């Protein structure tokens, strides 16, 4: 189903990246990823059969894109509760973070629940935010130019 471009949406996922094979992460955590690739995997045919430079292992929250980011993060942490020691064994060897992605019509503001902050710190997981504006500034500028031209013609 296509997304309504005027509705804010957001999601979060656990991202583990680094060198080597993504299967190492699956073996350590005993969790299958929602998406993954390994260093050296085919990336795209052009240019010249490009290969992946690094590994990435991804676990989605499973929440709806209209749910609060705190809910997304809670679901990810709930799936890792019994994997804390295993996850911490990956720290220092891999980049472990929760990526929060937000698409907004006007602005982005987020208040991370303080208990979640503590839990993330205890687990050694950092946060990364990707916030995107749903409006196209070029289209808005062209629209404003057209409005100015229309006003000048009326004079």
Pairing of strands 55-60, 9-18: antiparallel
Give the domain range for residue 140: 9-154
Q: Is residue 64 part of a domain?
A: yes
Q: Is residue 4 part of a domain?
A: no
Distance CA 140, CA 123 (A): 43
Q: Minimal CA–CA distance to 52: which of 39, 64, 67, 33? A: 39
Q: How many independent structural domains does the chain possess?
A: 1
Tens-place pLDDT, residues 103-148? 887 777 889 999 999 999 999 999 999 988 877 666 777 777 877 8
Q: Is residue 1 part of a domain?
A: no
Q: Is residue 102 part of a domain?
A: yes
Q: Is residue 49 part of a domain?
A: yes
Q: Is residue 63 part of a domain?
A: yes
Instruction: With 0.85 as the threshold, say if the pTM is over it.
Output: no
Distance CA 39, CA 104 (A): 33
Q: Is residue 2 part of a domain?
A: no
Q: Is residue 34 part of a domain?
A: yes
Tens-place pLDDT, residues 20-50? 999 999 999 999 999 998 888 787 766 777 8
Token pair belonging to 69: 């980011």
Q: What is the CA radius of gyration of the chain?
A: 21
């Amino acid at each position: 189903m296509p997304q309504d471009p005027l509705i804010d949406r957001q999601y979060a996922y656990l991202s583990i990246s680094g060198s080597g094979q993504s299967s190492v992460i699956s073996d350590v955590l005993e969790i299958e990823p929602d998406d993954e690739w390994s260093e050296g995997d085919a990336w795209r045919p052009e240019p010249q059969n490009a290969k992946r430079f690094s590994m990435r292992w991804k676990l989605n929250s499973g929440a709806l894109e209209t749910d609060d980011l705190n809910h997304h993060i809670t679901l990810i942490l709930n799936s890792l509760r019994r994997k804390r020691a295993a996850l911490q064994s990956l720290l220092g060897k891999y980049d472990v973070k929760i990526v929060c992605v937000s698409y907004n019509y006007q602005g982005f503001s987020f208040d991370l629940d303080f208990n979640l902050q503590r839990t993330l710190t205890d687990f050694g997981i950092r946060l990364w935010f990707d916030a995107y504006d749903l409006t196209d500034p070029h289209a808005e500028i062209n629209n404003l130019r057209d409005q100015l031209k229309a006003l000048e013609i009326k004079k």
